[in-house]
Amino acid sequence: MNHNNPILWQHEHVLVAGLGVSGKSAVAQCEHLGAMVSTFDAHAQATWNNERDIDWSSITIMVVSPVFAPTSELMQQAIAHHIRVMSEVELAWHIRVEHPDHSYAPWIGITGTNGKTTTTEMTAAMLQHAGLHAPAVGNIGVPVSQVVTDSSVDACVVELSSFQMHTTDSLRLRCAAITNLADDHLDWHGGFKQYAAAKAKVYHGVTDVLVYNADDKRVTALAMNAKPAPGCRTVGFTLHEPQSGQIGVVDGVIIDRSGLVSDEQGSALASISQFTHLCEPDGTVYPHLLADALCAMALALGYGIAVEDVVEALKSFSPGGHRIATVASLGAGEQSIRFIDDSKATNAHAALASLSSFADGQVVWIAGGLAKGSRFEDLIAQMHNKLSAVVVIGVDQEPMLHALAQEAPDIPVTRIATEPKGTVMERAVQAAGQYARGGQVVLMAPACASMDQFVSYADRGDQFAKAARTWVEAHGR
């Protein structure tokens, strides 16, 4: 199959591997395009349930789920048979560009280690406030192939994972951003270099605005080495005073020196204090949410959305579930004990951003889970002063316990037994509640994946919220 010519789908035999939500959407689209479609899934009704039974002889394209790593037998077989492998995102992009009159909506793409979902939601909200039909799609939960052919859509705001980008090569986005980069999924990709290279694809050929995190050296390097389309503007965002070509913050005010709004001498966009969801009750700013907001503003302004719509959308925006959300509180005011769900903090980089939002000694931290080979010494060395106590959950506790013993031996730690699994979070909240004092927060930002003891990070967050409300009810009498 040639990147430069339309795919003649009626002559293609497509294997869709993995029948999750995006896989099912891919099947529907390929059938609509007239392709012959076969399927593979070890755990669902499919043409083949065993990889060894797949007849590769007539297959020309494989649309693959992120569940299959590059080193998996399925991927290796596809390569050995010279089969074109693509993600569901790549499939959707081909559908878009091959439409006869090229009338399908443009895309804004967001990737990065952390903050992708929040930035995607914020950007979509800004476009929607301006009156556009701009759904948030992709890795956020709605397959982009499901909406790409919807003629009512004005723009697709697409969250892109590194897994998806590994088998995506043709994107030429209208606006693109990388929120940040840290070690994550290195086992899947085979190392940081490969992980970063997958993320960097989002910048290739971007036409209007390339947005990068100017506070992240790795992202900055990718942005400076990118090959956008001629005339594309490059815009950095920073939590500090912005330089020319950047959006940043001066004395609590968001300042544009990117040239998106006015000249590069600087234009005040809004006071951070207007955006209550970006701050603690005492006004302390959540740095990672502010960074997400700045990134979304750069994308929306670069797309052509008016400053007024961007600011008003951000005022009314609230982060999606399981992102630094207060789910229960005992008491009121400065001496309350608040329970905060940040279950989306599934790696050390995200947990660091979450912990850094709070004052020294303020946090009773619930941490741990599936470590995915990660170590936590650097995280705890940097965040030691934030902690008053730690409760460790998960079946993979050694990395967290070792790091705490090494870097924070003075911090009290409770280890939660792995069984019975059904009461893990209830017992964790009980232990955290025993440590918590007025003015402190119980923060569930585990720095680990959830699948060892929970269905998903959302399930983990829901169980935390339920247990926290039960604890508050019992202790508020």
Distances (CA, A) of 119 to 5, 57, 125, 211, 235: 33, 43, 10, 12, 16
Residues 386 and 302 in one domain: no
Does residue 167 lie within any of the structural domains?
Answer: yes
In terms of pLDDT, which residue wins out, 262 or 278? 278
What is the C-alpha separation between 442 and 388, in angstroms, rounded? 10
Each residue's pLDDT tens digit, 242-257: 999 999 999 999 999 9
Same domain for 79 and 96, yes or no, is: no
Q: Is 112 annotated as a binding residue?
A: yes
Q: What is the mean predicted confidence (pLDDT) over 48-55? A: 94
Residue 2: per-residue pLDDT: 36
Binning pLDDT at 50, 70 and 90, where does residue 133 land?
very high
Q: What would the two tokens of residue 288 be? A: 């990672």
Same domain, 13 and 110: no
Check which CATH number belongs to the domain holding 66 and give it: 3.40.50.720
The residue that leads in pLDDT, 318 or 102, is 318
- Residue 239 reports pLDDT greater than 80: yes
Angstrom distance (rounded) from CA 91 to CA 278: 36
Does a structural domain hold residue 200?
A: yes
Residue 2 in domain: no
Residues 163, 225, single domain; the answer is yes
Mark which of 29, 54, 86 sits at the end of a domain.
86
Question: 103 versus 376: which is more confidently predicted?
Answer: 376
* 116 marked as binding residue: yes
Domain contains 1: no
The CATH number of the domain holding residue 300 is 3.40.1190.10
Say yes or no: 251 and 336 in one domain: no
Provide the domain limits for residue 14.
9-86
pLDDT digits (tens, 9 = 90+) for 149-180: 898 999 999 999 988 998 999 999 999 999 99
pLDDT of residue 439: 93
| Closest of 330, 372, 455, 363 to residue 69, by C-alpha | 372
Same domain, 156 and 292: yes
Answer yes or no: is pLDDT of 9 > 70.
yes
d(C-alpha 60, C-alpha 24), whole Å: 19
Which of the four pLDDT bands, split at 50, 70 and 90, describes residue 1? very low
The whole-angstrom separation of Cα 415 and Cα 86 is 43
Mean pLDDT of the chain: 91
Class of residue 122 by CB neighbours under 10 A (exposed 0-12, middle 13-18, buried 19+): buried
From 278, 296, 316, the end of a domain falls on 316
Instruction: Count how many domains the chain has.
Output: 3
Same structural domain, 78 and 200? no
Looking at 36, 54, 86, the residue that finishes a domain is 86
* 371 and 467 assigned to the same domain: yes
Task: State the pLDDT at residue 415.
Answer: 97
Q: How confident is the model at residue 373 (pLDDT cuts 50, 70, 90)?
A: confident
Residue 202 included in any domain: yes
pTM of the model: 0.80
Please write down the HEC assignment for all residues of the chain: CCCCCCCCHHHCEEEEECCCHHHHHHHHHHHHCCCEEEEECCCCCCCECCHHHCCCCCCCEEEECCCCCCCCHHHHHHHHCCCEEECHHHHHHHHHHCCCCCCCCCEEEEECCCCHHHHHHHHHHHHHHCCCCCCEEECCCCCHHHHCCCCCCCCEEEECCHHHHHCCCCCCCCEEEECCCCCCCHHHHCCHHHHHHHHHHHHCCCCCEEEEECCCHHHHHHHHCCCCCCCCEEEEECCCCCCCCEEEEECCEEEECCCCCCCCCCEEEEEHHHCHHHECCCCCECHHHHHHHHHHHHHHHHHCCCHHHHHHHHHHCCCCCCCCEEEEEECCHHHCEEEEECCCCCCHHHHHHHHCCCCCCCEEEEECCECCCCCCHHHHHHHHHHEEEEEECCCCCHHHHHHHHHHCCCCCEEECCCCCHHHHHHHHHHHHHHHCCCCCEEEECCCCECCCCCCCHHHHHHHHHHHHHHHHHHHCC
Taking residues 436-459, report their average pLDDT: 92
| Residue 189 in this model has a pLDDT that exceeds 90 | no
The pLDDT score that the predictor gives to residue 325 is: 86
pLDDT at 187: 64
What mean pLDDT do residues 66-95 have?
93
The answer to whether 227 is annotated as binding is no
Residues whose CB is less than 8 angstroms from the CB of residue 387 and which lie 6 or more positions away in sequence, other chains included: 355, 361, 363, 364, 365, 380, 408, 411
Nearest Cα residue to 135 out of 146, 176, 315, 212: 146
CATH code, 373: 3.90.190.20
Q: What is the pLDDT of residue 3?
A: 37
Residues 62 and 130 in one domain: no
Judge whether 385 is annotated as a binding position.
no
Mean pLDDT over 53-61 rounds to: 95
In this structure, the answer to whether residues 97 and 242 fall within a common structural domain is yes
Instruction: Answer whether residue 477 shows pLDDT above 70.
Output: no
- Whether residue 187 contacts residue 373, with contact meaning beta carbons closer than 8 Å, is answered with yes
The answer to whether the annotation marks 23 as part of a ligand binding site is no
| Statement to judge: residues 423 and 303 lie in one domain | no
Residue 4 within any structural domain of the chain: no
Name the residue with tokens 């290195």: 186
Residue 139 belongs to some domain of the structure:
yes
Residue 50 is assigned to a ligand binding site: no
Q: What pLDDT does residue 5 have?
A: 40
pLDDT digits (tens, 9 = 90+) for 268-314: 999 999 998 887 766 778 888 899 999 999 999 999 999 999 999 99
Does some domain include residue 468?
yes
* Same domain? 243 vs 273: yes
State the pLDDT at residue 140.
86
Q: Is 238 annotated as a binding residue?
A: no
For residue 183, pLDDT over 70 is answered with: no
